[in-house]
């Protein structure tokens, strides 16, 4: 099966089909996301916090996103892969943006790139689109501007800010963006933007009326042990499952219950019960 395309994603909006999207940053996660049939994966710069241990997304580099994207590509066959353009890899000039997008698509293998912001990046989105890149926009809370915004707050609550966001959304669509993330935006504003655009809106903390939803995998799986943002729902406690499994492993190592007979090679190529085990065969024992 071929990968989902940006055309398919736009067609989902036209058909009124909700679009699920999650982040992934490595091969194993991509395989699991793919197994769940999720049509679009974001290799987000949220990897700064989730996998690299930074306080925010700002230190993430193009190298980080590029190698994560390549791993996600290796772990998936059908999903559309969107790679985040990291902070200061596109803000200074259109040329920087072209080089970054080029690396993420050519080296990483992404089908699309995502960048944050409104009016200041509209020309960049236009030029990237003209050059042949598929571009996803990102309005509302834009985490790369966390210091300028003074924290992770809902954006567009005041009338003027809401009008400006609607204008930005229209401008990004007109510049060629194929979809638009709306992060931490009041639900009514997100609904207005969604109704006014032909391209899909993908919400995160922006209400149920967006055309799709994106979530950070670690948040919805309970992999971040100490923090879950309010907009995320934990569908599982995978972090706790891992800790419990590791505690059991440690206990069995300490009590010499592990490795057991099934995990133990024997000189004869046979287990103590006489069966030729896969382990023994694989080991050539």
Residues carrying an active site annotation: 183
Site for ligand KIV in 34-73 (CB under 6 A): 42, 44-46
Distance, in Å, from the CA atom of 269 to the CA atom of 210, rounded to the nearest integer, reads 59
Site for ligand KIV in 224-263 (CB under 6 A): none
Distance, in Å, from the CA atom of 175 to the CA atom of 123, rounded to the nearest integer, reads 7
Q: Could you tell me which of 40, 46, 31 has the C-alpha nearest to residue 213?
A: 40
Minimum distance from residue 14 beta carbon to ligand KIV (Å): 23
Give the residue with the Cβ less far from ligand KIV, 168 or 277: 168
23 binds ligand KIV (CB under 6 A): yes
The DSSP output letter for 79 is S
Distance, in Å, from the CA atom of 10 to the CA atom of 176, rounded to the nearest integer, reads 12
84 binds ligand KIV (CB under 6 A): yes
Count of residues engaged in binding ligand KIV, rule: CB under 6 A: 11
- Using CA of residue 266, residue 271, residue 272, residue 275, what is the dihedral sign? negative
216 binds ligand KIV (CB under 6 A): yes
Minimum distance from residue 87 beta carbon to ligand KIV (Å): 11
Q: Is 256 left (phi over 0), alpha (psi -120 to 50) or beta?
A: left
Give the residue with the Cβ less far from ligand KIV, 64 or 84: 84
List residues binding ligand KIV (CB under 6 A). 23, 42, 44-46, 84, 181, 183, 204, 214, 216
């Amino acid at each position: 099966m071929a990968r989902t395309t940006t055309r398919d994603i736009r067609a989902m909006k036209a058909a009124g089909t909700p679009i699920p999207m999650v982040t992934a940053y490595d091969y194993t996660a991509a395989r699991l996301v793919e197994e769940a049939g999720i049509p679009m994966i974001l290799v987000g710069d949220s990897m700064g916090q989730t996998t690299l241990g930074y306080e925010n997304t700002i230190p993430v580099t193009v190298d980080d996103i590029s190698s994560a994207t390549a791993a996600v590509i290796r772990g998936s066959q059908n999903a559309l892969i969107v790679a985040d353009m990291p902070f200061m890899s596109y803000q200074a000039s259109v040329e920087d943006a072209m080089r970054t997008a080029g690396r993420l698509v050519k080296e990483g293998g992404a089908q699309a790139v995502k960048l944050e912001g409104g009016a200041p990046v509209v020309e960049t989105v236009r030029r990237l689109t003209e050059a042949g890149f598929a571009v996803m926009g990102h309005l509302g809370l834009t985490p790369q501007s966390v210091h300028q915004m003074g924290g992770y707050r809902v954006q567009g609550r005041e009338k003027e800010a809401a009008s400006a966001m609607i204008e930005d959304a229209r401008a990004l669509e007109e510049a060629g963006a194929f979809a638009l993330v709306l992060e931490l935006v009041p639900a009514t504003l997100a609904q207005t933007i969604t109704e006014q655009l032909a391209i899909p809106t993908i919400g995160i903390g922006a209400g149920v009326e967006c055309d799709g939803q994106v979530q950070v995998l670690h948040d919805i799986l309970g992999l971040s042990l100490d923090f879950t943002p309010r907009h995320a729902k934990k569908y599982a406690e995978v972090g706790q499952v891992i800790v419990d499994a590791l505690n059991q492993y440690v206990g069995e190592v300490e009590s010499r219950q592990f490795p057991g007979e099934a995990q133990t090679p024997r000189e004869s190529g046979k287990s103590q019960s006489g069966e030729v085990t896969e382990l023994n065969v694989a080991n050539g024992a």
